[in-house]
Amino acid sequence: MIEERFDAIVIGAGMAGNAAAHTMASRGLKVLQLERGEYPGSKNVQGAILYADMVEKIIPNFREEAPLERHLVEQRFWMMGDRSHTAIQYRNDDFNEDKPNRYTIVRSQFDRWFSKEVQAQGAIVICETTVMELVSDAYGKVIGVRTDRRGGTIFADVVVLCEGVNGLLGTRAGLRPSPKPEHVALAVKEMHFLPRETIEARFNLHGDEGVVVEAAGVISKGMTGMGFVYTNKESISVGMGCLVSDFAENKDTPYGLLEAFKNHPSIKPLLEGSEVKEYAAHLIPEGGYNTIPELFGDGWVVCGDAAQLNNAIHREGSNLALTSGRLAGEAIFQIKSRKDAMTKQNLALYKKLLDDSFVMKDLKKYKDMPALLHANSQNYFLAYPQLVSKAMENFLRVDGTPKLDKEKATIGAFIKERKWSGLFGDAWKLARAWR
Amino acid sequence: MSLAARVEEKLYQNRYLVDAGKPHIAIRPHEKPSENLLAMTHICPAGCYSETSSGQVEITPDGCLECGTCRVLCEASGDITWNYPRGGFGVLFKFG
Ligand SMILES: Cc1cc2nc3c(=O)[nH]c(=O)nc-3n(C[C@H](O)[C@H](O)[C@H](O)COP(=O)(O)OP(=O)(O)OC[C@H]3O[C@@H](n4cnc5c(N)ncnc54)[C@H](O)[C@@H]3O)c2cc1C
Ligand code: SF4
């Protein structure tokens, strides 16, 4: 297929791959990027919130060019009861700034644009090409890849694996284990189209302002999971995700859960009359710090979701992918400029840069959260939300019951459900894991 | 309306380029499905897995969303083999 030899081959044209390829190509390295989709983004799914800072570090003026939907001025966290929700809502007019911090995007459009920027830096990008395996020399050093196109093997000094959460190449080559069912969430998502005025009226928005709603509680039926509603210009992204291991045990269907979420009385009016134009599913790495595999070796590095670099607590993934891809590119450029070889020892620089960044620091902070939420999912995602809903109802319904009796009833319900020790234990564990 | 019917309606919205005759996922022949394989008849988001009248699990991966859930759950035990479709084939997200 291609005779020449490359400084680097990047697998995948998602957030991590595009960041890595852009970083290396813009510094003059000879880069080949391979993507299995018909176009970059055609296989990718995101909510999707984009964090400006991490894009800006790669393309400083991206706001002028990139396909962005709405900048976010408001965040709602909804704890869902069966027919109710208790909300924390934060809106700030200061988010209407010159250079907003967060945007919604439509992922396949964004990836396509990003890839054009990568190509403009001189990288060769070939789509519709699935890489079948990594090629190693007799000493186990990765020296290239084999694709499903004719013409065989392509060689490079280093292969940058940005193949996403379900990456087959690294796992098949034994560089990292396959994700375990309790470490990945299955998310399903729909795109609902509505006129922009309708969206703006329903969500109390002006111009390109946007709102995101994150929802947890009874909607996941006791499984570790969440729902979301994000506003785009003329569409709304609605989705729901739970751990695969929970799904396997619970036997609910993901689409059934999504339907129930959409039909929840708090969500339904937001979507009324919309036209659905796509249904997607994707995994999200949720194992966190404790599941991060080996990140580099002789002739290879791994970035983004493939390396489990995903912060499930803050629902950040694209920015960790962008940052890890960029840092991998910077490390490779530095090694190359010193005319050093792409050995495991030298590529350790990538890990060092990553350790010094927010990526590893944030993931380390929450290292105990995934296991805790998983082990206590029945409490955190079913019992407590129901209790909170009941407590709010008690508090607000004026029916002649003295307030003291109401408080007693509320506290009684909490204790009956979990006992004091259980309540304190859960709160304590949550606080510790959060620290 | 059953949920199975509904998932087909959902898939109908999507764009696919099916690689006819080259399924990218295959189930190992079995008498009795493992628990995980049986679970796939519920949790595959595209409803690709179904149970036959004689109790085996079969797959029609045409509507596959390439999420990898069945791979994560069933590959290690050898219940299935999982590959990506050939480059360019499979689901093509317009929005993602
Ligand atoms: C429903 C959902 C909502 C989300 N919401 C958010 C959000 O709001 N904000 C946020 O920051 N993050 C969010 N995320 C997470 C975010 O999408 C990921 O963290 C991010 O996309 C990871 O980027 P990546 O480049 O590592 O992988 P991907 O974007 O998955 O890219 C991997 C690429 O590699 C290609 N590829 C794989 N194997 C091969 C092969 N063998 N040959 C050739 N090409 C290959 C794929 O086609 C794909 O293009 C969400 C995820 C989901 C599923
Ligand atoms: S990859 Fe996902 S959509 Fe495809 S068959 Fe497996 S579970 Fe179903």
Residue range A257-276, pLDDT digits in tens: 999 999 999 999 999 999 99
Lowest mean pLDDT among A144-153, A180-189, A301-310: A144-153
One-letter amino acid at A411 equals I
- pLDDT of A112 > 50? The answer is yes
Q: Which residues contact A318 (CB under 8 A, 6 or more apart)?
A: A15, A46, A48, A49, A50, A51, A54
- pLDDT of A405 > 90? The answer is no
- The residues of B whose Cβ lies within 8 A of any Cβ of A are 3, 6-7, 10-11, 13-14, 17, 36, 39, 42-43, 45-47, 65-69, 71-73, 75-76, 82-88, 90-96
- pLDDT of A120 > 50? The answer is yes
Q: How many CB atoms lie within 10 A of CB A255?
A: 25
pLDDT of residue B2: 56
Q: What is the mean pLDDT of residues A332-338?
A: 98
Q: Please indicate if any CB of chain B lies within 8 Å of the CB of A1.
A: no
CA distance A206 to chain B (A): 24
pLDDT of residue A316: 93
Contact A309/A324 with Cβ under 8 angstroms?
A: yes
- Bridge partners, residue A332, by sequence: none
Concatenating the DSSP letter of every residue in A365-409 gives HTTTHHHHHHHTHHIIIIIHHHHHHHHHHHHH--SS--HHHHHHH
pLDDT of residue A432: 72
Contact B96/A281 with Cβ under 8 angstroms?
A: no
Is there a contact between A130 and B86 if contact means CB atoms under 8 Å apart? yes
Lowest mean pLDDT among A218-232, A408-422, B53-67: A408-422
Q: How confident is the model at residue A1 (pLDDT cuts 50, 70, 90)?
A: low
Q: How confident is the model at residue A379 (pLDDT cuts 50, 70, 90)?
A: confident
- pLDDT of A90 > 60? The answer is yes
Is there a contact between B71 and A166 if contact means CB atoms under 8 Å apart? yes
User: Mean pLDDT across chain A, nearest whole number?
Assistant: 93
Query: Which pTM value belongs to this model?
Result: 0.94
Between CA B37 and CA B24 the distance in angstroms is 17
The verdict on the CB of residue B45 being under 6 Å from ligand 2 is yes
Contact A274/A194 with Cβ under 8 angstroms?
A: yes
Contact A130/A37 with Cβ under 8 angstroms?
A: no
pLDDT of residue B1: 46
Is there a contact between A38 and B95 if contact means CB atoms under 8 Å apart? no
Residues from chain A contacting residue B85 (CB–CB below 8 Å) = 36, 130
Q: Whose CA is nearest to atom 4 of ligand 2?
A: B64
Secondary structure (3-state) at B52: coil
As a dihedral over the C-alpha atoms of residue A279, residue A283, residue A286, residue A287, rounded to 10 degrees, the angle is 160
pLDDT of residue A77: 92
pLDDT of residue B3: 56
Between CA A426 and CA A373 the distance in angstroms is 10
Q: What is the mean pLDDT of residues A309-323?
A: 93
pLDDT of residue A419: 74
- Which has the higher per-residue pLDDT, A389 or A135? A135
- pLDDT of A435 > 70? The answer is no
Probe target for ligand 2 pocket from B8, B70, B79, with the most ligand atoms within 8 Å of CB: B70
- Which has the higher per-residue pLDDT, A376 or A16? A16
